[in-house]
Chains A and B, each alone.
Chain A
Amino acid sequence: MTVENSETHIGQWRAAILRGSAVTEADADELEGHLREQIADLEKAGLTGEEAFLISVRRLGEVDRLTAEFARAHSDRLWKQLALTQAEPRDRRSLTVMLAFALASAVLVQVLRLLAAGTVIGYPTFSLNVSFLIFPVLAAYFLVIRRMRWQRIAAAAALVAGIAVAVNLFPMGMASTTHTLVTLHLPVLLWFVVGFAYVGGEVRLSTRRMDFLRFSGEWAIYYALIALGGAVLMGLTMLVLTPFGGAASNIVLDWVLPSGIAGAVIVAAWLVEAKKSVIENLAPVLTAIFTPLFAIMLVVAAVAWAVAGVWQNFDRELLIGFDALLLVVVALVVYGISARDSAAGHNAMDVIRMLAVAAAIILDVLVLVSMFSRIGEYGFTANRVAALGLNLILLVNLAVTLWFLARLVAGTSPAIRLERWQTGYLPVFAAWVLVVVLALPPIFGFA
């Protein structure tokens, strides 16, 4: 056996050992040192290189049993830790930057709240503007850590400023429908600005858009977890403050709650980035669990509706609920494909996905047919246009998704086409939200 040959063998053995999740590089160094010394000793005794290697490996024990023994001795290593305590200086700096932005967002929100409390502005103005003090701060955070060119920063800032000025100049009534619509759609619109900053301005690249979708899913999960922890904290704080009366609780509600809601947006984003390569993504796991369940629900519902004919009595107020349903189905598809190898062929999950999408489309078409057949019964309002528009956009998305899924299952189209379709569709969503925020209020006379 030549020297190179023996080095390859040792390298392969080391790689096999390292596949055990409780074996660290240091452990592999230690074992490799042992192996090399044993080989050297056996060669000195007159064995050939190959014989020495085989005997030494055998003496060290089967790789599977060895790694299993390491796992027993270091069970903690099987739980990958996101250690913040022993962070490197670089990590500590990223932590400081993140905390600074979280604090900035929290302070800005408090300033706006004090303005509202001091009746300088009304509470509806507060709720309209509060998202400008949260999401653009998150976008700024990404602009800073991505070191983007100033032209792109200026473009993003101008866009946000333009929208802020426009919606504040709109003469919308405080309790009007358009005011509520704009307040609800602004965070979504600003989330697309966050996306622009997240991908470092490379919005044309499908892969970067997919990264942003992955980020959004993980962010939502982390935010929900932080919110749960925050709710427990707030509840217990209220309990402890009970003897002081309602005033003390109100102080906490006023000062801690809004700051926490704003700051957690940045903290969750930082967490997603920090643990990106450490912990498996959660959104695809949740998707894998819920896709079959949703598929069953949707198929049963579609059959039942069609057979019983209940779709003819569809209440139009339920349309927003249907938008949510279609959005969930799109999310199930997107996060399902986000974790798969885009070069691989189809699997059973794709068939389940296809069933879910098909059933959702049938349900939605029934709803739309029922609505359009009675279109004369009611006119268009801003609310209905917003709900209907979103519904049609989602329906088109799902119809094409179904086409790609069918071709994927038939083996005539790779999964990457479906991924491209979804990432390519993002501007349509962004454009529609922009229409709802900027065009619908004037069209409907700010009612």
Chain B
Amino acid sequence: MDIDKDLVAAMATPLVLAILAEHENYGYAILKRVRELSGGDLEWTDGMLYPLLHRLERLGLVRATWGLSAEGRRRRNYRITDAGLAQLADQRRQWATANRTLGQVWGNAIPVGV
């Protein structure tokens, strides 16, 4: 299934924040989690995650620290901050509203193509 680019872009921030709200994580594992959650439906250019993470860091929504991977490679871990959690809660309200609104008008009248 193809998901509209703008929709993917709009989802990116709450999705990454929600994954980081589970626990501290790093880039590659975040992307693996995205694939797992969407069942592979959400196609994302992997590299674009990093500028997004850096933007969130600058906004103070996540904090990055350098750690080491199992193979001893330098790895940047990201953790959500209190401001990030507040932002996530706000995003969640917005998405819930969008969901509810669309759900009402769609009802069961329009079938979902599988």
Contact = CB atoms under 8 A, between A and B. Distances in A.
Contact of A61 (B26, B46, B73, B76): B46
Contacts of B28: 33-34, 37-38
B39 to A, nearest CB: 17
B46 A69 contact: no
B46 A38 contact: yes
B33 interface: no
Most buried by A among B51, B54, B58: B51
Interface stretch (A70-78, A86-94, A284-292, A375-383): A70-78
B27 A59 contact: no
Nearest to A32: B73
The A contact surface, by secondary structure, is helix
Interface in A26-81: 26-27, 29-31, 33-34, 36-38, 59-61, 65-66, 69-70, 72-74
A61 B48 contact: yes
The B contact surface, by secondary structure, is helix
A30 B50 contact: yes
Contacts of A60: 45-47
B45 A61 contact: yes
Given A29-B74, A33-B74, A37-B28, A74 B47 contact: no
A69 B27 contact: no
Contacts of A27: 50, 54
Contacts of A34: 27-28, 31, 46-47, 50
A59 B45 CA distance: 6
A33 B69 contact: yes
Contacts of B27: 30, 33-34
A29 B64 CA distance: 14
Nearest to A29: B74
Contacts of B51: 69-70, 72-74
Interface string B56-92: 0010000000000100011110000000000000000
B54 A59 contact: no
Contacts of A61: 45-48
Contacts of B75: 30, 33
Contacts of A70: 50-51, 54
B66 to A, nearest CB: 8
Nearest to B51: A73
B55 interface: yes
Nearest to A60: B47
Contacts of B55: 73
A211 B32 CA distance: 53
Contacts of A66: 45, 47-48
29 contacts: A27-B54, A29-B74, A29-B76, A30-B27, A30-B75, A30-B76, A33-B28, A33-B74, A33-B75, A33-B76, A34-B28, A34-B47, A34-B50, A38-B46, A59-B45, A60-B45, A60-B46, A61-B47, A61-B48, A65-B45, A66-B45, A66-B48, A69-B47, A69-B48, A70-B54, A73-B52, A73-B54, A74-B51, A74-B54
Given A34-B47, A73-B51, A73-B58, 13 more contacts: A30-B50, A30-B76, A33-B27, A33-B28, A33-B69, A33-B75, A34-B31, A37-B28, A59-B45, A60-B46, A61-B46, A66-B45, A69-B48
Interface of A: 26-27, 29-31, 33-34, 36-38, 59-61, 65-66, 69-70, 72-74
